[in-house]
Amino acid sequence: MKSVKAFLMLAIATILTFTVSARELNIVPQPTYINIEETGDYVVTAKTRVILDVAHPNPAYRFVEDLSHIYGVMKVAKRGKGITLSVDNSLHNEGYTITTTAEGIAIVGGSEAGMYYGLQTLRQIIITNEGRVPYGVIRDEPSFDYRGAHLDVSRHFFSVADVKRYIDILAAHKLNRLHWHLTDDQGWRIEIKAYPELIDKGSMRKETLIGHGLEPKWWDGEPYGGYYTQAEIRDIVEYASSRYITIIPEIEMPGHSQAALHALPWLGCQEQDVEVWTMWGVTPEVLCAGKESTYTFLENVLKEVIDLFPSELIHIGGDECPKDRWKECEHCQAMMKAQGLENEEELQGYLVTRIEKFLNGHGRRIIGWDEILEGGVTPTATVMAWRGAKIGAYAAEHGHEVVMVPLPICYFDFYQTESREGEGLHIGGHINFEKVYSWDPFEGISEEARKNIIGVQCNLWSEYLNNLKMVEIQLLPRLGALSEVQWSVDRRNEDTIRQKMESMRKFYDAYGWHYAPYYFEGRK
């Protein structure tokens, strides 16, 4: 009799364990708090109404739009039962709560953005759990204010539709910044009305390197180009804004500017004619830092950029600038003498400082790659630490806001497996899902300086990514790992992440987003 009772108790325990585990919510990124009741689901269907907060209608309409191709067009109403939305300013600005009962689903956000992120969580549950939302409570807020991804459209150009799809992927992972790399040696991609030559000449290169070798046999011989009109940029900025993503434009200076030099030769020290570059890497051709006409050009460009992008931060590049031309240039040497500068490194600092003052005077702040630290920028400049975590720590210790993007961990153009089998051609390196997930962005940074680490970002350089499918495969599923670093840095759990990503895979499939299979296959 005892053995029968023991068997029954074991069977009941097994059933209960299965029931609880079956009701686990595999949400990426991990919420702050989840309390799910043992029984009861609210089932979302095409007939479920979304009851909007009249003062903040955008999240409701975006949610309905995001589910439309799966559920059809759900009805948005001003009153009734279903999915109700409201704002409570006592919550974290981007935080939210979701309360699910038999009466419906109530989402309360700390702001419109908070409501939107609550709806992103709900969308994930609906799609991965066949519309069934367990009764219970979810509370959530992000770890970092800046949660970014970068997109290089200079090496390879991506259409307006491509950029919007990229934005959709970022939004689903609760990112709130898109760092848009718009100019480089291989192409100028933004219309500037003061200088039409920038797109007439600077947006097109005569051919593209298609391999790592630098011999002529590795070029395709096909003209390549593209650019965004100002109307298209405004459209993309609005699209991102309605998904609570701020676009930070990057205008490279003084290096990585050969496309601009081709369009406007007078920007160079020797004013020689150079081609839009057809190689990857670092060219010696840079903007002349000794002529006032260069500063006039940069200020005129930035005036139009400011008009197009509401972002407080404007990225000015500042990285990988060779000084060979400046050493030979009479204008640069004269500027150094006039300003009391000892070397060409200080001359770059002078240029960056002038641009910083200009942007500050227009109500904006600069953000730049960590080389800007070498020129004496003020603590109001935000530093993007790419050359290693130690530089990020140094910048934070000296009072700068820092976005952590260190090599190699945040470079999603790198290979995803050690063997590289089946991955095609990429720039190099090896960063798998596990390395991203286990990364500590605070490593080596004092408790006092940690407050200056405002965020984390992945970079996607497009030298070897010539279409959006390739971009998506490099981005996913690693963005799932990064989103947990960005949103849930202290809540990560290596024991549960694979299960959560298997669920997230269903979400990717529902939207037709391409992702690399290696993590799911167990390859590292």
CATH C-level class of 146-517: alpha beta
Residue for token pair 């989103």: 483
Catalytic residue among 56, 156, 256, 262: 256
What pLDDT does 234 receive?
98
Calpha distance 361→430 (Å, rounded): 42
C-beta atoms surrounding 378 within 10 Å? 13
Catalytic residue among 41, 94, 184, 484: 184
Instruction: Kindly report whether the global pTM for this prediction surpasses the value 0.85.
Output: yes
What pLDDT does 217 receive? 73
Fold designation for 20-140: Chitobiase; domain 2 (3.30.379)
- Start and end residues for every CATH 3.20.20.80 domain found in the chain: 146-517
Residue 85: per-residue pLDDT = 97
DSSP calls for 327-386: HH-HHHHHHHHHHT--SHHHHHHHHHHHHHHHHHHTT-EEEEEGGGGGGT--TTSEEEE-
As given in the structure block, the two tokens for residue 249 are 């434009």
Report d(CA 255, CA 264) in Å as an integer. Answer: 15
Catalytic, out of 24, 320, 397, 502? 320
Active site residue 162: no
- Give yes or no: 184 in active site: yes
Residue 216's pLDDT is what? 65
Q: What is the mean pLDDT of each run of 10 residues along the chain (524 residues)?
A: 35 33 82 96 96 95 94 90 97 98 98 98 97 97 98 98 98 98 98 98 95 77 97 98 98 98 97 95 97 98 98 97 97 98 96 96 97 86 95 94 97 97 94 98 94 98 97 98 98 97 98 98 96
**Residue 315 known to be catalytic:** no
Measured CA to CA, the distance from residue 164 to residue 170 in angstroms comes to: 10
Which residues touch 57 (CB under 8 Å, ≥6 apart)? 76
pLDDT recorded at residue 214: 64
- Intervals of CATH 3.30.379.10 along the chain: 20-140
Contact assessment for residue 243 and residue 235, using Cβ atoms and an 8 Å cutoff: no
